[in-house]
Amino acid sequence: MLSAGIAAAQVVSLPPLNQRVLGFADAHLGKPVGTGECWDLAAAALNEAGANWDGKYRFGREVDLKAERVLPGDIIQFEGIETLVRTATSESRERMGHHTAIVHATHGDGRYTLAHQNFGPSGRKVGLTEWDARTVIRGRYTIYRPVQ
């Protein structure tokens, strides 16, 4: 099953492994995967898709963010991330020390919908949240493309 949040033209252009990873995430929305750790979702999705990865935290081929588009079904690994969002009347910060998620949808300009668990209101079940890379003030994130 492919994500309803992705335009049909974009779905057609997704690599097959990305389609399978995304389908796995969609099939498990609202359910825990493995022990409910964030890493469990990406690991199970890649394994089910038949992807080749190191079994640790290199989830495929690193995406060159200067030369390539991020695609739904890519995996994102956060390390020591801190974000800052300011509005006219407020400021909010969010931290992700070590966290793994699946890119569920892309919205341009570094904005994504992420499928993940062990994060936010979904707790240890797979849920969706919005994330904006432009708000990162500290830390590092790496995006991986599933490979065979």
pLDDT per residue of the chain (148 residues) written in tens, 0 to 9: 444 445 444 445 899 999 999 999 999 999 999 999 999 999 999 999 999 999 888 999 999 999 999 999 999 999 999 999 999 999 999 998 999 999 999 998 899 999 999 998 899 999 999 999 999 999 999 999 999 9
Q: Which domain holds residue 110?
A: 8-145
State residue 19's pLDDT score. 97
- pLDDT for 9 equals 41
Number of domains in the chain: 1
pTM, two decimal places:
0.89
Burial group, residue 24, by CB count within 10 angstroms (0-12, 13-18, 19+)? buried
In a domain, 107, yes or no: yes
pLDDT of the residue at 121? 86
CATH code: domain of residue 39: 3.90.1720
Q: Is residue 53 part of a domain?
A: yes
Look at residue 44 and tell me if it is in a domain: yes
> Is residue 2 domain-resident?
no
41 within domain boundaries:
yes
